[in-house]
Amino acid sequence: MPAPTIRRATPEDAEALSRIGAETFSETFGHLYPPQDLRDFLESAYGLEKTRRDLADRAKAAWLVEADGEVVGHAMAGACDLPHDEVTPTCGELKRLYLLKRLQGDGTGSRLLAEAFAWLERDGPRRLWIGVWSENHGAQRLYARMGFEKVGEYEFIVGQTRDREFILRRG
Ligand SMILES: CC(C)(COP(=O)(O)OP(=O)(O)OC[C@H]1O[C@@H](n2cnc3c(N)ncnc32)[C@H](O)[C@@H]1OP(=O)(O)O)[C@@H](O)C(=O)NCCC(=O)NCCS
């Protein structure tokens, strides 16, 4: 199979981005939450109207991964809004990075990460941040290899569930 392709998402991709966002989040983390909490979260984070607003926001960028004509992953980056005292308006954040399970472990996530970092640092090196679930050891290894270090923690709230999240920083 040819390597998956990566391209910037445009406002016309709102439906595709909304769909793959909900699908990959559910596949990765859906088991952690009661079904109604998960549905409410998906609507607020990946619903069509929210996705349209994200794509219209010039301070954010999103990417789609495609394989065999199908959307199989996505990423999003923008200004950092993680809750940490040292975040400033010039800080960038990798906000999302997801592939469908069947595409994982083949180097595509690293390529997607490189695209997002290149966009975040298009005007030169910049302090970058990532929030990651404390139990997501695979992603933490990937980010550590890219130079990220844990500098804090916060609670990521989905309905009644409070997840322990690590705050990572580079630069
Ligand atoms: C994180 C993710 C995008 C990485 O993409 P990938 O194509 O699988 O990664 P690559 O093949 O480029 O790099 C492999 C590294 O990714 C990480 N990784 C691999 N599978 C993973 C998984 N299921 N979940 C999280 N990280 C994973 C590991 O660090 C791995 O390196 P290792 O083999 O030395 O442990 C992808 O695995 C994924 O979508 N995971 C589920 C969603 C997720 O956890 N997103 C991060 C949210 S902060």
113-131 tens-digit pLDDT = 999 999 999 999 999 999 9
Domain contains 32: yes
Distance CA 111, CA 159 (A): 33
Tokens of 141: 């290894």
CATH number at residue 80: 3.40.630.30
- Output the residue whose Cα is nearest ligand 1's atom 24: 138
Q: Can you tell me the distance from the alpha carbon of 91 to that of 134, in angstroms, rounded to the nearest whole number? A: 22
Model pLDDT, residue 1: 74
| Domain-located, residue 104 | yes
> pLDDT digits over 43-78, tens only?
999 999 999 999 999 999 999 999 999 999 999 999
Residue 171 lies in a domain: no
H/E segment holding residue 23: helix 14-29
Reading the block at residue 40, the tokens are 């409410």
Atom of ligand 1 nearest to the CA of 24: 42
Residue 80 lies in a domain: yes
- Ligand 1 mean position to 104 CA, how many Å? 6
How many domains does the structure of the chain reveal?
A: 1
Atom of ligand 1 nearest to the CA of 139: 26
- The residues lining ligand 1, judged by C-beta closer than 6 Å to any ligand atom, are 28, 97-99, 104-110, 132, 136, 138-139, 141-142
Q: Does residue 19 fall inside a structural domain?
A: yes
**Residue-range definition of the domain harbouring residue 110:** 5-125
The answer to the question of residue 148 being in a domain is no
80-109: burial string, b at 16+ Cβ within 10 Å, e else: bebebeebeeebbbbbbbbbbeebeeeebb
The answer to whether residue 12 scores a pLDDT higher than 80 is: yes
State pTM to two decimals: 0.97
53 alpha-carbon distance from chain centroid: 16
Quick check: is 141 in a domain? Answer: no
Structural domain contains residue 162: no
